[in-house]
Structure 1
Amino acid sequence: MLQFNHFNFNVLDLARSLDFYAKALDLKVVREKEAADGSFRLVYLGDGETGFQLELTWLRDRTEPYNLGECEFHLAFVTDDYEGIHARHARMGCICYENPAMGIYFISDPDGYWIEIVPAKD
């Protein structure tokens, strides 16, 4: 049997990303790994509900923003408080695209990764 475990985003400023994910999506650190020489740090975030984790990878020597290409990929979250979460993201100024016809929108994290917000189905 195979199961999803985690997905990775490489980040330039780990503290800024951790702050964003805590405020925007209520994600919390569930485990960390740091290289003995300090050259990288892996921080795994969880939602407290599922076993799926988002791995943030920080590389000490990385100074240039990551090239995300055309950003034709995304991570998606479902919520039972769509209006409340949308209002939070609007206040944060992180909504980058809305599709009212489909009833979804996207936010962008500090490194430009897109995250889709989907309402829970009734």
Structure 2
Amino acid sequence: MPGNIIMIVFLVAMIAMMWWQSKKAKQQQQEKQDFRANLQPGTEIITIGGIIGKVVSVDVQYEEIIIDSEGSPIRFSFNAISREYVRPAYVSDDEVDENGNPLPVDDDEAQTPIDQAIEAAETPAETETDSSK
């Protein structure tokens, strides 16, 4: 009896996981179809082969797209379009420490004690009043 209950629970869990995976796959497929259907000229895209270019024209009837990659127009089917291309942020190795954290900015004014900063701010004002006499 306890073995049967465990088997039923396991079977129900497997069916639920398969249903959830199927639903998730359908949602992703619908999102891709919507993206491809709404492509406009000028959008930067990347193909499944890694080619990056701007959309020149979209032919919905034949499900083809023409992109311009560095002056070379290339025709692809809608299925070859992976996603919209977003250039990754670049951070130089000189701007981060060994853990990838940003290095502090050397700003002399930010490190000046408050008393010296006040004196420095008052000094030019005093010289202007002395010269006007």
Higher-Rg structure is 2
TM bin (shorter chain):
under 0.3
Between Structure 1 and Structure 2, the one with more strand by share is: 1
Structure 2 length normalisation: TM-score? 0.21
Greater length-normalized contact order (CA 8 Å, ≥ 6 residues apart): 1
TM-score, length basis structure 1 = 0.22
